[in-house]
Structure formats: C-alpha cells, structure tokens
Structure 1
Amino acid sequence: MHDLKSLQAFVDGASVDDAVFALRPDYRALLIAVDGIIPGPGDEMSEALLREAEAAACALLRDRPVSEVPHVAAWREAYRAFGAKPQRTRNSLEALLRRAPSGLPRVNRLTDVYNAISVLHQVPAGGEDLDRYRGSPRLIRATGEEPFDTVADGEVVIEYPEPGEVVWCDDADVTCRRWNWRQARRTQLTDETTAAPFILDALEPMTDEALHAAADDLIYHLSRFSPDIRVARRVIAPDLRSEN
C-alpha cells in the first residue's frame, strides 16, 4: 500500500533529460501515481467507455487517414527525429486509433479505461504496475546498452534500444521503448494491479489545458470503480517548472 506522501515522492522523483527537450521543446509529460485501485475484468462502465472511444475515433477518421490526424502527425515527426520509422513502429495513440474502427482491445478494466482515455483525448498514455518499479521513471535518450525485458515469438527476451532512442526507464532497465511504443514485460499491468503510474505524453498541438483535462478524465473514471483511490500528479515541462 502506498500513502499519498510516497505517491508524491514517486512522481516528484521522475525526470526528463535535457536531450529529450532539445529534440522536442514542446514536449510535456504528465505523471499520475494512483493507489487503491480495485482490480477486475472489464465491466459495463469500461465497455461503455471503449464504445464511446471507438465512435469518437470513427468520427475523427471519417474524412482523413490516421497519419493526418494532427496529434498523430506530431508524434510521427518526433519518431523520425530520433531515427525511428513511424510506419513500422507506431506510437501508442496511432496504434489504438488504427484498431478503433474494428474494435479496441478488451484486456481488463484498468487497461481498457486508460486506452479509452487515450483515444478520446488523442494523447499517448501508458499505465504500469507501481509495485514492480525500481525508483521513479526517467525519460532519456538511450546509449544502446540499457536492457529491455520483452516477449518475442512467445519467448522472453532481452533487447536493447538503438543509441539515441527516446526511452522511459527506472533504476533497473527500460520500461518503455521509443517514447510510447512498447512497454516492458516487468512493469506491465496485471489483473492484480492495485497501484499504477500513468504517463501522458504531450506534443503540440495539444495544449496544457487539454493535457490536464485528459488526466482529470482518467482519474474520474478510475474513481468510478475505485472510490477510495489516492492520487498524486505532476507535469514535467521543458522550462523545468513543475505543476502538481
């Protein structure tokens, strides 16, 4: 169990390297740490939220391809800036938007809620198991020597990011590759997760107001099935100011 003080210490300990801000001066990270989550399978609430997100995505894509959605285009540009090919390794928002017309994945209530919020607010969002973290999250440009614990062809493997790749990591290893492309196996959410950090990644044209609205919506829906949650949050921006 994590009290509010420890949750705030977790988000206050997070950092974004100057090299990332040099790559994208418009980048902001909104971190949310939540404890007191009641785990469970998808239910009527999460299903309704997913259906709302699917309908919103279909409306958004009615007159344009996914790649021309402004928020997706910004992330494609960011991926190219550190050498990734966005048509091969899609940011998490684009991946969800492409799946939405045929149906978003149904995983568990917690995952389903944050996936729906990602689509509804057009912001890449990641959720992980707080109890599996080692220290606080850091966003860096990799040296290429940081291990990444993943699964390939059904087998557990250790991969390594490309030098210069933007990755989230903790004190142990990489927790998410290519900014918001693929999360590590070690910290992934499970059906028993009761405490979780969420990271919302923002680039222009997303405004600070829209970013906070996405966070507020996520916290609101988490509280619908976990009314006693404890929440700490923080924004990390390139001018080094933070907002709680």
Structure 2
Amino acid sequence: MFSVLPSIAREIAMLAPGFRALSISVNASRIVSPDFGKQSLDEACQSIATGGPAWADAHLSAWADVFRKFGAKPQRTACSAEALRKRTLKAGSLPSIDPVVDLYNAVSLLYAIPVGGENFEAYVGMPRLVIADGTERFDTTKDGAPALEAPENGEVVWRDDVGVTCRRWNWRQGVRTRLTADAKQMWFVLESLPEMPVTALHDAGDALVDGLRLLMPDAAIDTRLIGLHIQ
C-alpha cells in the first residue's frame, strides 16, 4: 500500500494558522457501483437548500479571508468548496462528471470543505503546498487547447517536482494530474481551517472513504491527518 505524505511550507502557517487536512491514498480497484457517485452528488445538491452544517458559513468565510491574504480575489476565484456551493445554489444541481469526481464533490458540498482528487500516477515526487515565486509551470486549457501559464508571485499552490498541480490553493486543478475513475492510484486531500471542527474533518474523510468502498470494494485505502501543528 502506497501512502501520500504531502509537505507544507512553514510560510503557510502565517497565512492560515491551524490549517489541517486529511491525505487519503487509494489503490483503486474495479468500480462495481458506477451510479453511486451521481446519486451521492444529487443528494448533496438537494441538501444545500437547508444551509449545511452550523459552521459552514464561518468556514467558507475563513477561506475567503485566507485567499485575500495571498492576493486572490475570492469573489472571482473562490475556494473550490465555495465555488461548488454557488454553482449549486444558482442551478439547483451539478452535472455528473465521473463516479469518483461526483463522490468527492458530494463530500465537499455536504461538509463545506475543499476536496481535491488527483491521479497520483501522474505525479513526480510528493505533493507540496508552497508559496509560488511565479516561475513555475501550470498546465491548463485555453479556448479548448492545451496551454501553459504561471502562478502569480506569492500565490499559494500545490505542486510536485514538475510543476503546479493546483493554483490558488484549491481553486483550479491542472490537467496533468486530473483524476478519473480509470486511475489506479488516487490521492485525495480534504483541507480545513479551525472554523471547521476537527471532528467534522474526520467525518468528511469517513464519508469519502465509505463512499469509495461502496464504489470499489477491493480498494486499499490509507488516511493520514496532516498539518504544520501535527508532529
């Protein structure tokens, strides 16, 4: 069983004291319940009308504050959880993408937490959360065609040894490591700030793991709590 152990630059503590996350590594197996992800997403979308957990607004507001600290404008480039929530409130639902992607988007909506899903086979080295200097490469698409861009100097990014895998902390994922249900090695990261109780973070992780086991019962899964304050 492989285990993804991301590193977090100490400068992150200045931006987001108490940041913590769950790192979930998955040796995938055959999907036996392909409709489960969409069902989970549909149910999560329906639940948004009730307002979500008691701490949801405070948690998303805290993420907006963190984004402002490193120069991002959350009204234009919100954290992934806020973006999903806004799209759901506007449209009433989200389109199905893929059983695994639908599942982790459902968890993100239900727990008001940014959740990233990555194809770990595409990584070179371990993931690390760092402050960009503006020279890094980020692979994306522009007008439907492959394109390269660079993050802004001072921007918080996830990266590996090749380049940036996600810009503005958890705003936009790169193409190279994008996850689909065909991936053999999957990595998920659930990112929280102190406004979200740590028990709720673990509940969100359990919901994702339980869903993955329903999707692919033979998968091997490893979960680790990470953060600068954790020894």
* TM-score interval, smaller chain: over 0.9
The one-letter code sitting in structure 2 at the alignment partner of 1:97 is: R
Contact 1:41 1:107 in 2 (8 A): no
1:99 aligns with 2:87: yes
In 2: Cα distance, 1:134 partner to 1:42 partner: 29
State percent identity of aligned pairs. Answer: 41
Tell me how far 1:176 sits from its aligned partner.
0.4
Contact 2:28 2:186 in 1 (8 A): no
Structure 2 residue aligned with 1:65: none
Q: Unaligned 5+ residue runs, structure 1?
A: 62-67
1:226 aligns with 2:216: yes
Q: Deviations over 1:112-135 (max 9, x none)?
A: 000001111111000011111111
* Cα RMSD, aligned residues only: 1.7
How many residues are matched?
A: 226
Structure 2 residue aligned with 1:173: 163
In 1: Cα distance, 2:179 partner to 2:32 partner: 12
Closer, same or farther: CA 191–121 of 1 in aligned 2, 3 Å: same
In 1: Cα distance, 2:101 partner to 2:182 partner: 12
In 2: Cα distance, 1:22 partner to 1:71 partner: 18
Structure 1 residue aligned with 2:108: 118
**Which of 44, 49, 58 is equivalent to 1:53?**
44
**Which of 36, 52, 61 is equivalent to 1:73?**
61
Tell me how far 1:70 sits from its aligned partner.
1.6
In 1: Cα distance, 2:144 partner to 2:32 partner: 25
Contact 1:176 1:183 in 2 (8 A): yes
Closer, same or farther: CA 117–168 of 1 in aligned 2, 3 Å: same
In 1: Cα distance, 2:88 partner to 2:14 partner: 33
Tell me how far 1:29 sits from its aligned partner.
2.0
Q: Unaligned 5+ residue runs, structure 2?
A: none
**Which of 28, 31, 35 is equivalent to 2:27?**
35
Tell me how far 1:40 sits from its aligned partner.
8.1
1:189 aligns with 2:189: no
Contact 1:117 1:218 in 2 (8 A): yes
Taking structure 2 as the reference length, the TM-score comes to 0.93
